[in-house]
Amino acid sequence: GIQVEQSPPDLILQEGANSTLRCNFSDSVNNLQWFHQNPWGQLINLFYIPSGTKQNGRLSATTVATERYSLLYISSSQTTDSGVYFCAVPKIQGAQKLVFGQGTRLTINP
């Protein structure tokens, strides 16, 4: 099955800094999601982005499907951005079963 790798595993930044999180996947995908798991454990949808670029406020994401990676950008980080960021792709192209990466733990210090 498809492999998903996220980097870096941990990232500690000061408030106001920018960050880039990466998600690599081992096979072609037609579906990719980014989630934020906040410190209370909630999984919040950030982007559904099989390809191209999307922006939502201070967050944006780019997926380059042909090169099998996606990037999540966070600008002007705030303490509320802390948590774990996951990317997820279908286990098999076209399938509904998602495979999650191990996540990037982001800590934003005031």
Partner 1 sequence: DAGVIQSPRHEVTEMGQEVTLRCKPISGHNSLFWYRQTMMRGLELLIYFNNNVPIDDSGMPEDRFSAKMPNASFSTLKIQPSEPRDSAVYFCASSPNRWNEQFFGPGTRLTVL
CB 51 → partner 1: shortest distance, Å? 14
Nearer to partner 1, 77 or 90 (CB): 90
Shortest approach of partner 1 to residue 66 CB, angstroms?
A: 20
Comparing CB distances to partner 1, the nearer of 77 and 88 is: 88
Q: Name the minimum Å distance from CB 84 to partner 1.
A: 10
Select 35 or 77, whichever has its Cβ closest to partner 1. 35
Interface residues toward partner 1, by CB under 8 A: 30-31, 33, 35, 41-45, 48, 86, 88, 94, 96-98, 100, 102-103
Minimum separation from the CB atom of position 42 to partner 1 (A): 6
Residue among 85, 51, 53 at smallest CA distance from 68 = 51
Q: How far apart are the first and last CA of the chain?
A: 41
CA–CA separation, 22 and 45 (whole Å): 17
Query: Could you tell me if 58 and 66 are in contact, meaning their C-beta atoms sit under 8 angstroms apart?
Result: no
Residue number, 42 or 109, with CB nearest to partner 1? 42
Ramachandran angles phi, psi of 33, nearest 5°: -125, 145
Closest Cα partner for 17 from 83, 79, 69? 79
